[in-house]
A = this chain, B = another copy of it.
Amino acid sequence: MALKEVVSEGDTVNLRDEENSFYLLLKKGETFTTHKGIIKHEDIIGRVFGDKVTTHKGHEYLIVRPTFYELIMFGIKRKTQIVYPKDSGYIALKLGLCPGMKVLEAGIGSGAMSIVMANIIRPDGVIYAYEKEERFIKIAIENLRMASLQEHVIIKHKDLLEGPDEEDFDVAFIDMREPWECLEILKKVVKKTSPVGFIMPTTNQVTMLLKSLEEKGFFNIEVEEMIHRPYKPVPERLRPVDKISGHTGYLVFARVPQRF
């Protein structure tokens, strides 16, 4: 009950001072260097979250436990358009993700969505993530490791369209360019009446997908989008920020038809 407070090797910590913020996967023997001095990872390991660590030049950084929001937005490497927290938190609820689930994901991209899903389905659940691009897999593994969630995701270097090696999935999340191509596969390997989710950037893709979902008997079909609007946190001058994200993707959800 309550998280461990002591920082261990393999944890990702957020080091911050008034000006900067860094995300660091701790490994004995490594060092972290800024213009304010050098810190050995071993000077952080064994400390407690909320402590301060001092560089060799005497500058202090606060050791903070990063949230998933921070890890995804600022910590992980990106080789692709990621699924943003404004969408992924909601997707988790639309898919009914819970501990123990067997999840099908394709493709994994940079792993941002895998991180959100793995955190919920652990410890007994597992994500089978299909990805045909080798360069994405490398990044995704690195990012999952940063979140200490790599053991809950089995990455398959394979196009989902070739057919997955598993079946009886509880749920699926699809982030592919032509998601309508994989609907027959979803019908085969995802449990009947289970929820499946999709994300895609264009209205044309949504139209194509909706047509196929209808044709193939999927039901409870929904299309949605989330607009995220941050404010300047100034009490006497409260107002939204000047520039916001105009679009990430359209979310589509449906349930797999019965296989009579």
Q: A242's closest neighbor in chain B, by CB? A: B246
Interface string of A241-260 (1 = CB under 8 A from B): 11111110010100100100
Roughly how many angstroms separate A2 CA and B167 CA in the complex, as a whole number?
10
Q: Which of A82-97 contact B (CB under 8 A)?
A: 85-86, 88-97
By a CB distance below 8 angstroms, the chain B residues around A89 are: 88-93
Known: A1-B100, A94-B85, A224-B231. A67 touches B195 (CB 8 A): yes
A202 interfacial contact with B, CB 8 Å? yes
- In this complex, the interface size class of chain A, counting residues with CB under 8 Å from chain B, is 35 or more
> Contact: A233 with B246, CB < 8 Å?
no
> Contact: B1 with A102, CB < 8 Å?
yes
Roughly how many angstroms separate A226 CA and B258 CA in the complex, as a whole number?
34
Q: A49's closest neighbor in chain B, by CB? A: B193
> Contact: A202 with B72, CB < 8 Å?
no
> Contact: B98 with A93, CB < 8 Å?
no
Q: A231's closest neighbor in chain B, by CB? A: B223
A222 interfacial contact with B, CB 8 Å? yes
A181 interfacial contact with B, CB 8 Å? no
By a CB distance below 8 angstroms, the chain B residues around A120 are: 119-120
> Contact: A247 with B242, CB < 8 Å?
yes
> Contact: B224 with A230, CB < 8 Å?
yes
Nearest-Cβ distance from residue A157 to partner chain B, whole angstroms: 21
A9 interfacial contact with B, CB 8 Å? no
Q: Which of A32-40, A122-130, A134-142 lies at the interface?
A: A122-130
Roughly how many angstroms separate A242 CA and B245 CA in the complex, as a whole number?
6
> Contact: A243 with B245, CB < 8 Å?
yes
Question: What are 7 A-to-B residue pairs whose CB atoms are below 8 Å?
Answer: A1-B102, A50-B191, A67-B96, A202-B238, A225-B231, A227-B228, A243-B245
- 8 shortest interchain CB distances as A-B pairs: A67-B96, A89-B89, A244-B246, A240-B247, A50-B192, A2-B102, A203-B203, A210-B235
